[in-house]
Structure 1
Amino acid sequence: MLENFEAGQSGWCYYGCSECTISVALKDGKLRCFANHETDEPVPRYKLEVLGVDGKFRARFLFWDNNCVKLIEKSALELKRQLIKKELAIRVVFQPKYGSLSVVRFRDNEESCKKIKENLKS
């Protein structure tokens, strides 16, 4: 049974090289990957951590870009663009002892978003 998705410390995606899938970093004023490719526009790529539970056993799985694109049927860039346009009501649980934040549920209907906005105003 899939218990939850965890974004990890760096989120659900990373910015990769436009020539390969290696992450990019600023080096000498230019974005470069560790293969030393220079890129002007880094590409968002999936890195999704999933927690699976089977009775008393728990296992973490890491899904990289190619597998996520096959499962979700959208690139990370397409999903980011879609999420920017969409308003979501997200319920999370924060566990300060472990420094973790887990998404419990989310809804994308107008009524749920409106309720949350009204509660935040008071």
Structure 2
Amino acid sequence: MATYRNLDKTPRIFFLPGDQIFPWIIISAVSYFFVRKVFGFSWVWVITISGWGIGTWWVLTWKGMHYFFGRLVSSPHWVRAIVEYKSVLNHGQSRSQKSRRSRWQKG
């Protein structure tokens, strides 16, 4: 059984999770552009904002995106009910035609 010990592990680049690298690069680039180029702040602010964004992303996607974001979507409440079928195509029929037809089908 030791042959497949790495089968269920996630990919890593050194100590960093492999699926987090590209979002971190995007977060760092966006924070660099806005903080350094648009607002003209120093590198300390770029690193701080980038670290905050990376940390937030890591916390939100720690066990997978579905772990956090799945809580925001409520599960459907299924109820079994017996309801009379109402056809959309025969919606314009008068009430008397419906009652005549249902009496004819019963007898």
The verdict on a shared fold, with TM-score over 0.5 as the criterion, is no
Higher helix share: 2
Which structure would you say has the larger Rg?
A: 2
- Name the structure, 1 or 2, with higher relative contact order (CA <8 Å, separation 6+): 1
Taking structure 1 as the reference length, the TM-score comes to 0.22
